[in-house]
Amino acid sequence: MAKYILAIDQGTTGSTALVMGTDGATLGRANQEFQQYFPQPGWVEHEPDQIWKSVEDSVASALKVAGVSGNDIAAVGVTNQRETTVVWDRATGKPVHRAIVWQDRRTAPRCLELKSREPEVKETTGLVLDPYFSGTKIAWILDNVDGARKRAEAGELAFGTIDTYLVSRLAGGAPDAPHVIDVTNASRTLLMDLARRQWSPAMCELLGVPQELLPTIVPCAGRHAETRGFSGLPDGIPIAGIAGDQHAALFGQACFEPGDVKCTYGTGAFVVLNTGESLVRSQHGLLSTMAWQIGDEAVYALEGSCFVAGAAVQWLRDGLRLIDSASDVEALARQVESSDGVVFVPALAGLGAPYWDPDARGMVSGITRGTTRAHLARATLEAIALEVQDLVAAMGEDLGSAIRRMRVDGGAAANDVLMQYQSDFSALTVERPAELETTARGAAMLAGIGAGLFDSPKAAAKMVQIQDSFHVTMDETKRQQHMQQWRDAVRRVRGQSVGD
């Protein structure tokens, strides 16, 4: 009898596959990176075929590492980089353009043109008008690929976020494969009515997206498709769990109760707060979004995103060549007792929540003749924690009470220095699981529910184990000094005087 779950975590820079037991043990893991394309400043693209090849390779390697065959897999879960947009030919499955990545800023002028409609957009979708989301990316493809808009209106083209694209290909590809999007990814398009969990004709008209292009919205757990023609897996395995990466991470941290919160530290940093059945409208620059949906039961969330987190460490490595590998940053930061007044605002792709300033650009201030590589490394880790603190504070304001505990995951969560900064700057306890593959774990848990391996989220939570905790060690006076330096630096980045 098949007894393992295959989780596919398709991320911004690579695809990871994990073979997991229903007890949460990871038997095999493999990652395959793929190329990033930057055709113009502010533009970021992926080749969908390269994404698919990375998934094929990572799955084959993970099965080999685990020492199991495809016949041992009982269910497949998919989690993915959100907002990244693919449009393809329904008949052939061939993309009409490279995927436009969530980081891409090319539609900022269009978002600015529509800014007067933002109250309506936010009320309907829970989102703000920003090039981060899929809707304006779809319209850009239709308006910049010859004949694409006419073909879309004729029903010849299909749109999907990466989950849609992967499920289609896992299920055999066009033209017969299901064309579906899970409700969490749909909630990130600027096109879904968040309260009704249906496509909004008004938003489609506003953004110029033909409804004929759109997939069917489905819950996060359920038998949405079956494998067909996928190398290494037999036909008929249920693809039973789908969720955007941050929603999967919330689920994979067993944040099942209203008020539970997690932060995922990856290329960016993403804080998500479970608000239960209540669709909370933020008054402090956060997004209202889906947490997940199982059956007819929908759970909502508040979310804040920092566009650059781990990417700031990559910039130290690749751009400034201050370190040889990302893991070196912790040891380098430990060489000094403080950043010595150096403050880094990593607005390398604009500022996300709670500022939503696409024109902001990064800045390092407080440099003196005594500034060293170690000070810059420490300031970078502090910056990541301070960005996240802005989001934690905004969530506390929306809730009307301070957040006291946060669970963490993602690659950078392995950094003890960063986790201690996060605890100190945010004045909360940080809990870290034994394994940091929480995004994939959430997809596996949802797939287990969808395939009938678990009868409830509570039963699936046995896959989660908390290992480390970080508690506040910084006194409040010192904390407030850091907060003031950070606020002043952010004001400068946004073109404001420090006294504003």
Q: Is residue 215 one of the residues assigned to a domain?
A: yes
Question: What pLDDT shows up at residue 72?
Answer: 93
pLDDT in tens, 363-419: 999 999 999 999 999 999 999 999 999 999 999 888 887 888 999 998 889 999 999
Distance CA 86, CA 17 (A): 21
Q: How far apart are CA 192 and CA 163, in angstroms?
A: 16
The whole domain housing 91 covers: 4-246
248: tokens are 């999967």
Distance between CA 387 and CA 396 in Å, rounded?
A: 15
pLDDT for 311-323, tens place per residue?
889 889 999 899 9
Provide the pLDDT for residue 499. Answer: 55
User: Does residue 154 fall inside a structural domain?
Assistant: yes
Mapped onto helix, strand or coil, the DSSP state of residue 263 is: strand
Instruction: Name the band, by pLDDT with cuts 50, 70 and 90, for residue 435.
Output: confident
> Phi/psi zone of residue 173: left (φ > 0), alpha (ψ -120 to 50 degrees), beta?
left
CA distance 408 to 375: 25
256 assigned to some structural domain: no
Written as six digits, the tokens of 297 are 């039961």
Q: How far is residue 312's CA from residue 77's CA, in Å, rounded to a whole number?
A: 30
Pick from 61-65, 328-332, 346-350 the range whose average pLDDT is largest. Answer: 61-65
Work out how many domains the chain is built from and give that number: 1
Number of other CB atoms surrounding residue 40 within 10 Å: 10
Specify the pLDDT at position 290: 95
Rounded to the nearest integer, the mean pLDDT of the chain is: 92
**What pLDDT, on the 0 to 100 scale, is given for residue 498?**
59
Tokens for 452, please give them.
């009938």
Q: In this model, does residue 462 exceed pLDDT 90?
A: no
- As beta bridge partners, residue 469 has 431
d(CA 20, CA 444): 8
Q: Could you report the per-residue pLDDT of 225-284, keeping only the tens digit for each? A: 999 999 889 999 999 999 999 999 999 999 998 889 999 898 889 899 999 998 988 888
When pLDDT is averaged across residues 42-58 and rounded to a whole number, the result is 95
**pLDDT, position 284:** 86
180: Cα within 13 Å, side-chain hemisphere: 26
Strand partners, 270: 264, 305
pLDDT above 60 (res 216): yes
CA distances from 143 to 59, 72, 159, 252 (A): 36, 46, 14, 38
Determine, yes or no, domain membership for 324.
Answer: no
pLDDT-based confidence at 2, cuts 50/70/90? low
Asked if 288 contacts 302 with a C-beta cutoff of 8 angstroms, the reply is yes
Q: Of the given ranges (1-15, 67-81, 196-210, 372-386), which has the lowest mean pLDDT? A: 1-15
pLDDT at position 480 is: 92
- Nearest CA to 339 out of 380, 306, 304 is that of 380
Quick check: is 31 in a domain? yes
Beta strands in 136-253 (DSSP E): 157-160, 180-182, 192-193, 198-199, 216-218, 221-226, 238-244
Nearest alpha-carbon partner for 62 in 414, 449, 437: 437
- Reported as a pLDDT band with limits 50, 70 and 90, residue 356 is confident
Whether residue 496 is predicted with pLDDT greater than 80 in this model: the reply is no
Asked if the structure places residue 200 within a domain, the reply is yes
Q: What is the sign of the dihedral through the CA atoms of 43, 214, 180 and 282?
A: positive
Residue 137 belongs to a domain = yes
Q: Is residue 321 part of a domain?
A: no
The shares of helix, strand and coil residues in the chain, as percent rounded to the nearest 5, are 35, 25, 40
What pLDDT shows up at residue 3?
A: 87
Q: Is residue 465 over pLDDT 90?
A: no
Return the SS3 of 113: helix
Nearest CA to 110 out of 149, 147, 143, 88 is that of 143
Kindly state the percentage of the chain with pLDDT values over 70: 99
- CATH code of the domain in which 127 resides: 3.30.420.40
Written as one letter, the residue type at 322 is: L
Question: Alpha-carbon distance 302 to 280, whole Å?
Answer: 7
| Measured distance CA(338)–CA(404) in Å, rounded | 25
Structure token pair of residue 306: 């920092």
| Whether 286 contacts 398, CB under 8 Å | yes
φ, ψ (nearest 5 deg) of residue 67: 70, 30
